[in-house]
Amino acid sequence: MEDVREVAIFRHNLFRLSEPFIAQQAQRLRRYRPLYLGRWRFGLPPEGAESLALQDIARWRLPRIGWQMITRDPRPYERLMREHRPALIHAHFGIEGVYALPLARRLARPLITTFHGFDATLAAAALLASPAWAQYPLHRRELAREGDLFLCASGFIRERVLAMGFPEARTHTHYIGVDCESIRPREPAEEMPVILHVARLVEVKGTRYLLRAFAEIASRYAEARLVVIGDGPLRGSLQRLSATLGIADRVRFLGGLNHAEVLAWMRRAAMLVLPGVRTATGRIEGLGLVLLEAAATGVPVIGSAVGGIPECVLDRETGFLVRERDVDALAARMGELLDDPLRRQRMGAQGRSLVERRFDARRQTASLEDLYDSVLGRSV
């Protein structure tokens, strides 16, 4: 039996409800065993998985963790890992890559960094304004020079990472993918007149444009409901906007739900909508993994033609692409889908086919393990 090596999955804020994709990818590994490493746990680790966090060290609270944030001192993590010697470190987000680099040096282990979105698009001024992110623009060139491999969640993100000066030969597009075995196409009878939006409630997701578009069509589709899954700093203002628009009784804000609950809502949805926008700070949607999960379920999708969204939505085949902030176009496309159940079914089936061809998570994870092997100099 082939030896199973350990890989440290490095993310400062472990197991966030809005980031299930990190653990989902790691738990699909077969030739490597994940060890989750970070500052804080925001949820439970996967069953049977081991996690280590700075919060576990006696007397380590905000002041000491703040000191580590400033210094990037790898010794606290080394102390946590004294019984572990992973074969390599896989950091999720460029910020984590900057912090994992001193640890990789100290342990003499390769470092792989995955860029997911804001770490490739947010302006340097916005990063420097955040104490949690300020080290990233200061040490990004160091990461580009010394990191072993850079993976990007979409081709769009790769272009942005290359523009930041990362080496082309070591920077690759690698889709995390969707588990096509566990996510099965829904039956037409499961569908309800639900327009679904799954997103952290921040500006880049474009939720307020969706509310305005739904207000335009709500009177024509009396049974339609808008369901918003996710939480964030804009939740209060978005709820007030729905009241101002006169649609508060037609919109449900469900807050953050676990992944199984999100998938259950997808099976009921007539469509999933992600009207992402470019923000003034440069933030743009890196891919829109939720669009792929909806497509795998057989649900048509609507997204803005920005960032990495066009990589997972084939316009007029698996759904629609619209111009960002174009409320009228968004409303028109939503109405077209509500009017035509056969078109919804056809687009949903084509979406499922697209995901199976290009975004199957098991194939993508096998490819990731090959990349691990190549970094370690093992045969592939």
Report the distance separating Cα 372 and Cα 89, nearest Å.
Answer: 10
Residue 94 and residue 15 share a domain: yes
Residue 254 and residue 325 share a domain: yes
Residue 365 and residue 271 share a domain: no
DSSP readout, 103-155? Answer: HHHHHT--EEEEE-SHHHHS-HHHHHTSTTTTHHHHHHHHHHHH-SEEEESSH
> Closest Cα partner for 118 from 252, 287, 247, 325?
287
Residue 228 and residue 126 share a domain: no
Residue 323 and residue 236 share a domain: yes
Residue 53's φ and ψ, nearest 5 degrees, are: -140, 150
Q: Give the confidence band of 2 by pLDDT, cuts at 50, 70, 90.
A: low
Q: Give the confidence band of 380 by pLDDT, cuts at 50, 70, 90.
A: very low
pLDDT in tens, 217-260: 999 999 999 999 999 999 999 999 999 999 999 999 999 999 99
**Average pLDDT in the chain:** 95
Report the distance separating Cα 228 and Cα 207, nearest Å.
Answer: 9
Q: Is 223 a member of any domain?
A: yes
pLDDT at 67: 87
The CATH number that applies at residue 245 is 3.40.50.2000
Residue 364 and residue 304 share a domain: no
pLDDT at 379: 41
- Helix-, strand-, coil-residue percentages of the chain, each rounded to 5: 45, 20, 35
Q: Is 183 a member of any domain?
A: no
Q: Is 182 a member of any domain?
A: no
Domain count, the chain: 2
Q: Is the pLDDT of residue 1 over 90?
A: no
In Å, what is the CA distance from 46 to each residue of 15, 23, 176, 290, 337? 9, 7, 18, 20, 37
pLDDT in tens, 78-136: 999 999 999 999 999 999 999 999 999 999 999 999 999 999 999 999 999 998 899 99
Q: Is 146 a member of any domain?
A: yes
pLDDT at 65: 84
Q: Is the pLDDT of residue 58 over 80?
A: no
Q: Is 26 a member of any domain?
A: yes
Q: Is 256 a member of any domain?
A: yes
Percent of the chain with pLDDT over 90: 93
Residue 256 and residue 171 share a domain: no
**Count of CA atoms in the C-beta half-sphere (13 A) of 255:** 0
Residue 351 and residue 203 share a domain: yes
Residue 277 and residue 133 share a domain: no
Q: Is the dihedral of CA 233, 239, 242, 244 positive or negative?
A: negative
pLDDT in tens, 250-281: 999 999 999 999 999 999 999 999 999 999 99
pTM of the model: 0.93
Residue 216 and residue 257 share a domain: yes
Residue 287 and residue 213 share a domain: yes
Residue 32's φ and ψ, nearest 5 degrees, are: -135, 150
Q: Is 366 a member of any domain?
A: yes
Residue 366 and residue 353 share a domain: no
* Domain housing 75: 5-177+360-376
